[in-house]
Amino acid sequence: MGERPRVYKTEGIILRRRNLGEADSIFTVYSDREGKFDAVARGVRKARSHMRGHLEPLTRTRMMIARGRSIDVFTQAETVTSYRAIREDLERAAGAVYCAELADRFTAEHAPQDGLYALLIDTFDALEAGAPLHTVRFFEVSLVALAGYELQLDACALCGARLPEADTLLSATAGGLVCGPCRAGAGGGRVVSIRAVKVLRHAGRAGIDSFAALDLGEALARELQAALGDVIRHLLEREPSAGRFVDDVSRLPVGATLP
Amino acid sequence: MSEGAGTPEPITRLIEAFHKLPGIGPKSAQRLAYHVLRTPPQEAEALAAALRDVKARIRFCSVCLNITESDPCSYCQDARRDASTICVVEQALDILAIERIGFRGRYHVLHGVLNPIEGVGPEELHLKELLQRLGNEEVKEVIMATNPSLEGEATAMYVHRLVAPLGVRVSRLARGLPSGADLEFTDDLTLSRALEGRQDF
Ligand SMILES: [Zn+2]
Ligand SMILES: [Zn+2]
């Protein structure tokens, strides 16, 4: 392998920020070419920092990075999209932060995952344009597939038998839907409605816009959120922190937004 | 650099203690520890006493959660201050900045902001105390003075949604260009908000 260039350019979504020392921050970025990486922005917490607003979490940013011995360093950052509509709406912001956390947890550093950057951008673009919150379910189904855990939804994940057009067990352990006879060996799961099954299949085949345009209604949207939440929790072996926040926000009284 | 086996235990302990402070790396911790070693005994004693006192005598104000020696704190006790306006800040230090510009209402310190990925949720902030105050005191306006970051804004929106049903006005600080900013380097979000918030001469 040849020497890697000392400075590289890339474009990415800022996933996380942690403060370092008095004025620096470390950012976790998911980028098109480098995959996920951490880099430090020196002096970014000072009011006059040129990079400050360009490195806010959830921003799509073009950046220049210098490879450092222990950690890479931002030398330039310029916003492509600030996703203002997302960050000014609590539900959308919570959904986008949840997607950002999943992108972080499902990837390893400097190992770009084919299609993931485009998925992040598509999801954020859709949410920014006013797509309903169930668009996050499209992100979950697609992310899980990209990470190599595509849900088996067309036949029984254990025996391959055809599934009846009826409510069916979705088992995270089995990796998809499970037929009646296999249920005992599925290691638990959740029975999902046939409507939910159809929506999940649609997420695997359709584009994000077509999925976002579905009119799910509240009960079905909640069912899908819970079912995919099980799958994500099983794969990560933990509850995503932002998932709890999504729940906190959903319990708030609905009301006007801040001026 | 790591401490060799020959480093006396009290020094190692001091280095470790400094290393736990925010923004102090292993090298700085070492430098600080050896600095303390060289200072006169009375100075080191004064440092130790200051550390002890801050834990023994300083507490949270039972009303606004400001850090204080007397409870309630001086801001909450001062009858000349406008009790109908509460300025909500992320940390106690922010009060000093708001005081400097002449605000004379009351405060409420959240001791953090919502940070969903790092696991800081509403339970970790002092929101219950704020809601209690809104129930007990004659409050007309809550000013959200959180930072214009993703976390600060999420916190402001969250508090607004909690408080709005109580019929209390919720406002937040204007967002725009910081003085000394350079348009060329300003991000679009800040710039577009500054444009929206423009004012006639
Ligand atoms: Zn089967
Ligand atoms: Zn007080």
Specify the pLDDT at position B199: 82
Specify the pLDDT at position A234: 95
Q: Which residue has the higher pLDDT, B146 or A5?
A: B146
List, for residues A20-55, the tens digit of each pLDDT value.
888 999 999 999 999 999 999 999 988 788 898 899
Specify the pLDDT at position A172: 94
- Percent of all residues in chain B with a pLDDT value above 90, rounded to a whole number: 69
CB-based burial, A132-143: b 16+ in 10 Å, e otherwise: bbbbbbbbbbbb
List the domains of chain B with CATH numbers: 9-57 (1.10.8.420), 64-200 (3.40.1360.10)
Query: What are the DSSP calls for A209-257, one per residue?
Result: HHHHT----HHHHHHHHHHHHHHHHHHHTS--HHHHHHHHHHTSPP-PP
pTM for this predicted structure: 0.88
Q: Which residue has the higher pLDDT, A153 or A255?
A: A153
Summarize the confidence of residues A234-249 as an average pLDDT.
Answer: 93
Q: How does residue A98 score in pLDDT terms, banded at 50, 70 and 90?
A: very high
Closest CA–CA distance from residue B88 to any residue of chain A (Å):
15
Q: For residue A16, list chain B residues with Cβ-Cβ distance below 8 A.
A: 117-118
Domain A91-250: CATH class, spelled out: mainly alpha
**Chain A interface mutation, best of B27, B173, B179, B185, highest count of A Cβ atoms under 10 Å:** B185
Summarize the confidence of residues A154-161 as an average pLDDT.
Answer: 96
List, for residues A167-197, the tens digit of each pLDDT value.
999 999 999 999 999 999 898 899 999 999 9
Specify the pLDDT at position A258: 52
- Sign, CA dihedral A42-A44-A48-A53, equals positive
**Domain A7-82 in CATH 3.40.50.2300:** no
How far away, in angstroms, is B75 Cα from ligand 2 center? 6
- Calculate the average pLDDT of chain B: 91
Q: Considering chain A, tell me which residue range(s) the CATH 2.40.50.140 domain(s) occupy.
A: 7-82
Q: In angstroms, rounded to a whole number, what is the distance separating the alpha carbons of residues B6 and B11? A: 11
Q: Is A147 exposed, middle or buried (0-12, 13-18, 19+ CB in 10 A)?
A: middle
Chain A residue closest in CA terms to B189: A82
Closest CA–CA distance from residue B53 to any residue of chain A (Å):
25
Q: Taking 80 as the threshold, does the pLDDT of residue A252 lie above it?
A: yes
Q: Considering chain A, tell me which residue range(s) the CATH 1.20.1440.120 domain(s) occupy.
A: 91-250
- A47, A51, A100: residue with CB nearest B178: A47
Helix (DSSP H) and strand (DSSP E) numbers for chain B: 8, 6
